[in-house]
Structure 1
């Protein structure tokens, strides 16, 4: 069984989402020591954002030579995702949505014919056999019924993206209010870490 661990926070060891995603992976590896782990830090080895040349190459046009390494990186990222049985993602909220580094990764795995397709019934997800667990950190409170709920474009976006690929029940562990104050941060982190240790085994 293969586990793909993705981190996208720019805060390194100070990141709440990184701490929680690591705790999730530790929990799953303790339960299933034979898990084959692949780790990708999207801030240490960032993916380029899509360009016109990327899209042209995807449509079969000749790719410029300088795009070769990036196309190889795209293939590697997509294969990591396709090969994984479990995907764990650390996803902090930046300006009400996902980090651009994580968006660049999504652009490499949301690929027609690989993770979704269109047929007479519309879009069909092709990656529904995966378990996806997302560690979310948000500076404020964005849950249903909160004043800022309409600005929540992180969890809602990820739910939509994964559902489009056929993953209809992603799991979310959320640390909210981490910028409200030290006590709020400590409480949110403790709750998220406890939730991580209580996850169902792989």
Structure 2
């Protein structure tokens, strides 16, 4: 049975196909998950809305606790890491991660960055050993067969690699880098553009992104059977 982790990070609380000024990324993640479940009704879905309930940001106390070996942690350290442990456990359980990550000022929302900071955990999702030959860091989730789908949106257009604003896009690049660091390297993407134009170009971009989502569902389902 597949476990699917569905993450939304938009500050907008509704889907753009349901309410005015709703979220395009919520629209895409919902479409993906609904189609996946229709084909795999036995799928276990975990849902995390970091857009509406952001994880706590990393603090000095958090870092102290995370880098203290688990067997000698004090009670306050375990409490400091409680939410991080929950989020990490979800990632470890997931076979497929579907993340809605809109572009805010060229990068992911602060809420999603806080999420990433909580799941990139020494001893849980990456290893660290100063005495290790070569690279002292290594991914702990590598080889687990996990797949990541990044569904994004942006107000302007031309953010694909090689396009007019490709060098300004730090969304997919940042998410890919963080997840690769913990061992998730099978990554797929779709995005809606032209949101700020709100005209036929936006409508066309939505249609194109939805078609990519549909193709991704079909391709990933076939790979999982």
TM-score over 0.5 for the pair = yes
**Whole-angstrom CA distance in 2 between matches of 1:138 and 1:34:** 33
Counterparts of 1:94-109 in structure 2, within 5 Å, are 94-109=104-119
Tell me, yes or no, if the aligned pair for 1:134 and 1:171 is still in contact at 8 Å: yes
Partner of 2:19: none
Structure 1 position 142, deviation (Å):
1.2
Counterparts of 1:17-96 in structure 2, within 5 Å, are 17-60=25-68, 62=74, 64=76, 68=79, 71-96=81-106
Structure 1, unmatched stretches of 5+, are none
Tell me, yes or no, if the aligned pair for 2:150 and 2:188 is still in contact at 8 Å: yes
Structure 1 position 115, deviation (Å):
1.7
Query: What are the superposed Cα offsets for residues 103-156 of structure 1, whole Å, 9 maximum, x if unpaired?
Result: 111111111222222442423222232111110111122112223222111111
Tell me, yes or no, if the aligned pair for 1:90 and 1:134 is still in contact at 8 Å: yes
Partner of 2:185: 168
Alignment of 1:177 onto 2:198: no
Query: What's the TM-score once normalised by structure 1's chain length?
Result: 0.91
Query: What are the superposed Cα offsets for residues 75-107 of structure 1, whole Å, 9 maximum, x if unpaired?
Result: 111101111111100000000000011011111
Tell me, yes or no, if the aligned pair for 1:92 and 1:98 is still in contact at 8 Å: yes
Tell me, yes or no, if the aligned pair for 2:192 and 2:206 is still in contact at 8 Å: yes
For the structure 1 residues 21 and 143, does the alpha-carbon distance in structure 2 shift closer, same or farther, using more than 3 Å as the test?
same
Structure 1 position 10, deviation (Å):
0.6
Alignment of 1:12 onto 2:25: no
For the structure 1 residues 56 and 34, does the alpha-carbon distance in structure 2 shift closer, same or farther, using more than 3 Å as the test?
same
Corresponding residue SS for 2:62: helix
Query: Greater relative contact order: 1 or 2 (C-alpha under 8 angstroms, separation 6 or more)?
Result: 1
Tell me, yes or no, if the aligned pair for 2:13 and 2:52 is still in contact at 8 Å: no
Structure 1 position 62, deviation (Å):
4.2
Tell me, yes or no, if the aligned pair for 1:139 and 1:177 is still in contact at 8 Å: yes
Structure 2, unmatched stretches of 5+, are 15-21
Corresponding residue SS for 1:198: helix
**Whole-angstrom CA distance in 1 between matches of 2:187 and 2:126:** 17
**Whole-angstrom CA distance in 1 between matches of 2:67 and 2:127:** 15
Alignment of 1:126 onto 2:137: no
Partner of 1:3: 4
RMSD across aligned positions (CA): 1.9
How many residues are aligned here? 200
Tell me, yes or no, if the aligned pair for 1:8 and 1:102 is still in contact at 8 Å: yes
**Whole-angstrom CA distance in 1 between matches of 2:200 and 2:133:** 53
**Whole-angstrom CA distance in 2 between matches of 1:30 and 1:120:** 48
